[in-house]
Amino acid sequence: MAAGENSVQRLEISKKSIPDLAPLEAVLFDIDGTLCDSDPLHYIAFCEMFAEQIGMEVPDDEFLSKNIAGKHNDDVAAILFPDDIPKGMKFMKDAEERFRRLASENLASIKGLYRLTKWIQDRGLKRAAVTNAPKQNAELMISKLGLQDFFDAVIVASDCERAKPYPDPYLKALQLLQVSKDHTFVCEDSLPGIRAGVAAGLPVVGLTTTYPENLLMEANPTILIKDYEDPKLWDYLGQLDNKTEELLEKHPLQFPSNLGYPNCKREEQETLLLDFENQPDTNFVRQTKAFVQETKNKEFQLINNCV
């Protein structure tokens, strides 16, 4: 465990379930083990590095999951080489370069990932990747997954004074996206990552892709899922959609008459808005889109006051 991990200062732990986040504003993702099945590649890289530079085999999978997965490289270097930190840092640098070579050839997404990203895009939600991985790793994995245009922001450990398990990276994501922790959830697979999300006051969807379920429960995730096809996740998201619609029906968008939109039911308004998706970039279109965004922001405020 990284130094100070047990003493991480927390905001008030979120007691909200996923449906309680309605209306949802954003989803935040870790990368390794959360977007992609990268741990087997890290394991291969570490096995090779251990054999070449230390002259021994990696103890076992449990050693990797407890001492390496989800942790910042500075912490891993201190764990592996407590008496020679510079050697540890060089070891980690070489291991990451080897991982990138492996990942550039073979990197699989977590099952159901693109179903979830489509769900997020269809609802116009904001999204960010938040990782302890080096910037080069993060950019490579996001690119290989075809998600370079999906994220509004990417936060790596070097962007913050403190990495996970501290809440700083997730708090920075909320700040950059300008969203509320009361309407955002996190997807994470590691103990440091879940602890960071919980410490930031965010509900966390934990994935059992890296750690066993009983170990992840120690970090207090909101729910645990096997992958993004897990029926439990889609049951919660269905409840979230239903609750959002109930709230939005109480506060229908009101379009000013000078824009040519009638004051009508939300379903009709959304149909009318689709007309603007492929329109030329005229002043009228820009004016309408700006008004819609402003109205939606006011709508969120009205709903928040009622929840």
Q: Is 152 a catalytic residue?
A: no
| Phi-psi map region of 18: left, alpha, beta (phi>0 left; psi -120 to 50 alpha) | alpha
Catalytic one of 20, 30, 84, 159? 30
30 is catalytic: yes
In the chain, helix, strand, coil percent, each to 5? 55, 10, 35
What are the beta bridge partners of residue 127?
Answer: 27
H or E stretch covering 188: strand 184-188
DSSP string of 157-187? GGGSSS-TTSSHHHHHHHHHHT--GGGEEEE
Query: Among the options 32, 75, 189, 230, which is catalytic?
Result: 32
What secondary structure, in 3-state letters, does 6-45 show?
HHCCCCCCCCCCCHHHCCCCEEEECCECCCECCHHHHHHH
Q: Which residues contact 238 (CB under 8 A, 6 or more apart)?
A: none
Q: Give 247-275 as a 3 state SS string.
A: HHHCCCCCCCHHHCCCCCCHHHHHHHHHC
CB 220 within 8 A of CB 13: yes
Task: Pull the structure tokens for residue 175.
Answer: 């700040």
Distance CA 234, CA 236 (A): 5
- Give burial (CB, 10 Å; 0-12/13-18/19+) of 291: middle
Q: What is the DSSP letter of 217?
A: G
Q: Phi and psi of 37, rounded to 5°?
A: -85, 70
The residues annotated as belonging to the active site are 30, 32
